[in-house]
Structure 1
């Protein structure tokens, strides 16, 4: 799954850069209700996966090797403002609901719905959560249920419902350009089950995370993040992002991402020691963007994530179906994007990419290979009653050595409709 979010860092900052932020967010608070918002988000997702080599030998009886499901998700999110004064207090709350529109037990299993006690896929699911929050100056503390986007702990949103985490999260922006964060999380719900314990959720016991993001200039930023996930692993993440303007409508962007993972405690996932990094270079000229990327994995295992969130993989070659994160794997990507606004069709965009990976150690004496072609189109309605309604078509053609998963076609049709009520 592609996660194109740039995270930044710096633990040591030059004295000339450590000026205080010009304004305090808390001093500009208008009040609990005055700054509140209420949003409704609708998503309809149709998804099918065609396993070209037939069902996996370990698949349940009756599995045809073909997945086809459709579901509707409804999310509501209330975010209050902060009370006025030195210490601001607020509250956030959300609800998550899904409805299975299509997909029998023989065609289920794409990660859209959970199973009931009779192993049938649930027709409806629901979840509610809330968090209390405090703010002093430009530092905020939140406790409760929330969505998190950190390179070492990130809730995923690639299906009907997103994951959500339970814990405490502190984010501070007291120095201009520098963001410091720290958190402790003790539970996480998965995308297919709304429970937060270790059975229904991702299996998380606890995770402590720390991060520093720093923007040296408008075009250069860096980040360093660390996590300690109890009885699984410890991770360190590094990012450097550099944007180089060339002309009025031309620029180059370089993005470096890397993880170092070390097993810890009971090592529930088994062997996880791994180093993985990626470097992407993108050339933008007008409506066109051309990207080349390289990614390399080394160590005693491939890169492992999931208990720390399904979105915890900020790497260039993490794409629609594969992450290209196998043991000792090297992978390359070529990508092309076009924004049709420059050609008189605002809201319409296209993307295609090709990724190839090899040298994957699968323990059989013969290295495996994999490759993927992705084709994507998206249109967002620009105005009128249906403003911001979007339609997105994603098609992936994945091929690999049989020892590494075989051949799969992955097709998704996604309709998103956000509504700002307040």
Structure 2
């Protein structure tokens, strides 16, 4: 699941109108060591899930873990083509669990069904830079809307492959990727993201190309294409517009659409008992109005055609749709859904770093194995505080609560789910 935020919807492109080439970033390279950075992000997570009326499986999970995400990024050597490396080290430590309380997705599970005490993974990538274009080969995180690694648990997914990102033209970001494996969030080996665990079938290869262009300081568009061998091909488009109405007022509109069609063997994992070929469109339209400390958001989402909007083998974050929230994505075949959300930034009231949100999403018309009009709803509440100064500066404390209900019980094996996540996160920049 992906909790969408406006800062993610407006992708990382500086908006403007000039189309002239930008100054070369490689010309400013100071050296392999001189431009190096090293950071460690520490995350403490308590995850509780109550499947209130699950009659066929475990009804309650409660686990706590501590995750360390270390990232070393060298600078680039000087010269026409700069060379550098990135090194990633990940460690997860179990603090509390137990047989009968596991299954939150925080840890790998052993042959005895218990969560492992600790696990680690990592890797590295070599990178090359020519002007403002970077080629990277190896282990790396991905953020493309058609191939996005997930970071919703203790440790993130870690794909392996080749990526190319070019910013040669002002306001235009182009990127492409070729990936052949990925390490799941709670696993330690490649190709552990499996849509078909019984056959150990992971990624053969996933390829994508696309980009984002800032037409004006307020208006951006994106277009991407991807193909995952033996699964599907996808097109993705995005239109994002923001406009300031005054010193403390603004509006924002965001439109996303995926067009997905089965390719080759047409493999997929669906929520239904039967697996059907995919040929669908999933789109969402979201609008937000901000006045002072308050942001009011409304969104509509629809899936048309055959099959659910499918993702996962191409990254657990590959669902840039407005109604993909904490528990559900509201992405079933034929489903239409609506969202209302309220955000409050307490900085306006003299408490910088403190924020709250409340959201409600309702969906209907889902075509499932047991019904042609499945219904579901979800309510999300969150409070977050980021320390602004002192020795603990940037330490964030967050409480997330989700209440989920569906009419038929086919979603996630339960029609009533309550979740609570307590998260403390501290980013430490060492270099």
Do both proteins adopt the same fold according to a TM-score greater than 0.5, normalized to the shorter chain?
yes
**Aligned partners of 1:274, 1:164: CA distance in 2, in Å?**
28
For residue 85 of structure 1, report the CA deviation from its aligned partner.
0.8
Instruction: Name the residue aligned to 1:103.
Output: 97
Question: What SS does structure 2 have at the residue aligned with 1:402?
Answer: coil
Give unpaired runs (5+ residues) of structure 2: 195-199, 269-274
**Aligned partners of 1:223, 1:140: CA distance in 2, in Å?**
20
Distance 1:305 1:243, change over 3 A: same
Question: What SS does structure 2 have at the residue aligned with 1:75?
Answer: strand
Instruction: Name the residue aligned to 2:348.
Output: 342
Residue 203 (structure 2) pairs with residue 212 (structure 1): no
Instruction: Name the residue aligned to 1:279.
Output: 285
Residue 420 (structure 2) pairs with residue 411 (structure 1): yes
Instruction: Name the residue aligned to 2:19.
Output: 18
Instruction: Name the residue aligned to 2:73.
Output: 79
- Which residue of the other structure, out of 148, 156, 166, is the alignment partner of 2:150? 156
Instruction: Name the residue aligned to 2:82.
Output: 88
For residue 123 of structure 1, report the CA deviation from its aligned partner.
1.1
Question: What SS does structure 2 have at the residue aligned with 1:247?
Answer: coil
For residue 365 of structure 1, report the CA deviation from its aligned partner.
4.5
**Aligned partners of 2:230, 2:201: CA distance in 1, in Å?**
13
Give per-residue Cα distances to partners, 1:229-264, cap 9 Å, x unaligned: 011110110000001211111110000001000001
**Aligned partners of 1:189, 1:162: CA distance in 2, in Å?**
9
Write out aligned runs for 1:20-39 (5 A): 20-21=21-22, 23-39=23-39
Give per-residue Cα distances to partners, 1:104-130, cap 9 Å, x unaligned: 121111111111233322111001210
Question: What SS does structure 1 have at the residue aligned with 2:151?
Answer: coil
Does the 8 Å contact 2:174/2:210 carry over to 1?
yes
Instruction: Name the residue aligned to 2:42.
Output: 42
Distance 1:357 1:421, change over 3 A: same
Distance 1:237 1:199, change over 3 A: closer
**Aligned partners of 1:112, 1:364: CA distance in 2, in Å?**
31
Write out aligned runs for 1:11-410 (5 A): 17-21=18-22, 23-55=23-55, 57=56, 59=57, 63=58, 65-197=59-191, 203-269=202-268, 270=275, 271-405=277-411, 406-410=415-419
Instruction: Name the residue aligned to 1:13.
Output: none
Q: State the TM-score, normalized to the length of structure 1.
A: 0.94
Does the 8 Å contact 1:368/1:403 carry over to 2?
no
For residue 7 of structure 1, report the CA deviation from its aligned partner.
5.6
**Aligned partners of 1:9, 1:52: CA distance in 2, in Å?**
41
Distance 1:18 1:115, change over 3 A: same
Question: What SS does structure 2 have at the residue aligned with 1:342?
Answer: helix
Question: What SS does structure 2 have at the residue aligned with 1:157?
Answer: coil
Does the 8 Å contact 1:294/1:332 carry over to 2?
yes
Does the 8 Å contact 2:155/2:185 carry over to 1?
yes
Give per-residue Cα distances to partners, 1:241-295, cap 9 Å, x unaligned: 0012111111100000010000011112142222100000000111110000000
Does the 8 Å contact 2:154/2:185 carry over to 1?
yes
Question: What SS does structure 1 have at the residue aligned with 2:168?
Answer: coil
Q: How many residues align?
A: 410
Task: State which drifts further: 202-211 or 218-227.
Answer: 202-211
For residue 211 of structure 1, report the CA deviation from its aligned partner.
0.8
**Aligned partners of 1:9, 1:248: CA distance in 2, in Å?**
24
**Aligned partners of 1:183, 1:43: CA distance in 2, in Å?**
29
Does the 8 Å contact 2:288/2:298 carry over to 1?
yes
Question: What SS does structure 2 have at the residue aligned with 1:27?
Answer: helix
Distance 1:52 1:32, change over 3 A: same
Q: State the TM-score, normalized to the length of structure 2.
A: 0.92
For residue 9 of structure 1, report the CA deviation from its aligned partner.
11
Task: State which drifts further: 350-359 or 400-409.
Answer: 400-409
Question: What SS does structure 2 have at the residue aligned with 1:216?
Answer: strand
Does the 8 Å contact 1:27/1:137 carry over to 2?
yes
Distance 1:345 1:9, change over 3 A: closer
For residue 205 of structure 1, report the CA deviation from its aligned partner.
1.6
